Structure 1
Amino acid sequence: MFLRGSETSEDVQIDHVVSLSNAWQTGAQQLDQQSRIRLANDPLNLLAVDGPSNMQKSDADAATWLPPNREYWCPLVARQVSVKAKYGLWVTPPERDAIARILDSCPGQSALRG
């Protein structure tokens, strides 16, 4: 159970599944301001996570960071792909390879719609 307060507020944070820095580097700079605002506030791109993991992830993509719990890899990567597709963002070759490797290990994982 999470209790709000000065000593626990950092325990749960809202993560941008595709960080805003990563989004900017992969095409968001070409979006108009309204689209960038939608990306930043899109529930598809927002996820409640534990604070330490969010701080560890920072602006990393699937090629450079995955959560310690492997059970979250497939849904997280599928969500990242869905966000990038929705906003026309691209992936780097290492990210593409990581996405393929991860999603190949979870054939039942479907893309998320938002």
Structure 2
Amino acid sequence: MHDHSAIVLGNELYLAVGDHVACLSFSLPRRLVWSTQVDMATCFGIHWENGRGALISHGELGISRLSLEGNLMWQASGTDVFSEGFRLLPAHIEAVDFNRTVYRLDYATGEVRDS
């Protein structure tokens, strides 16, 4: 467990588990609401950007945006594993791969942006 293993939003817990993000309901009856595969290898963490209402998965091989209903809105990959850094910044998502290549991803589309 670490700071980005789980997020609580309202009555739901969003949890990074293996290569999935899962949503669990705190409301009775407590239940698994959905589970979505977000990476081919593993999900390092789940992040919430409140201003955009963006649920972002930081995976080993990909960065994904999910709707609160568990639908993949977009997925982005790089040339190597995203192991050297990950941040949600005001203008974009920043992910750094093993080769130290910096990717700046658009929140709405997942497309790589120029600096």
Structure 2 length-normalised TM: 0.31
Structure that is richer in helix per residue: 1
- Bigger Cα Rg: 1
Structure that is richer in strand per residue: 2
Greater relative contact order (Cα < 8 A, sep 6+): 1
Structure 1 length-normalised TM: 0.31
